[in-house]
Structure 1
Amino acid sequence: MNTLEQLMEEFGFTDDEISYALDKAKGIILGFAMEYRARQVLESMNFINVKSVDLPTHDIEAEKDGRRYFIEVKATKKSPTKEYSAYKIAMIAKLGGTHLTLLMTPKPTLYLTEDILSEPKRILLKFFRLIFAEDLVDLKDFLDNDKNRKIVTSYEKVISSYLDKIPNENLLDIVKSVF
Structure 2
Amino acid sequence: MNYLDIAIIIILGASVIYSVIKGFIRDAFSLLAVILGIVASLLFYPTGAEMLAGLITNPQIANIVSFAVIFLAVSIVVSLLGMLVSRMIKTADLSFYDRVAGGTFGLVKGYILVAVLVIVVTTLFPASARTSKITPYVVRSIRVVTDILPADYQRKIEEQKKNLENLNERTIERNDSKVSQ
User: When you count helix as a share of all residues, which structure comes out higher?
Assistant: 2
Give the TM-score band, short-chain normalised.
under 0.3
With normalisation by structure 1, the TM-score equals 0.28
User: When you count strand as a share of all residues, which structure comes out higher?
Assistant: 1
Higher relative CO (Cα under 8 Å, sequence separation at least 6) belongs to: 2
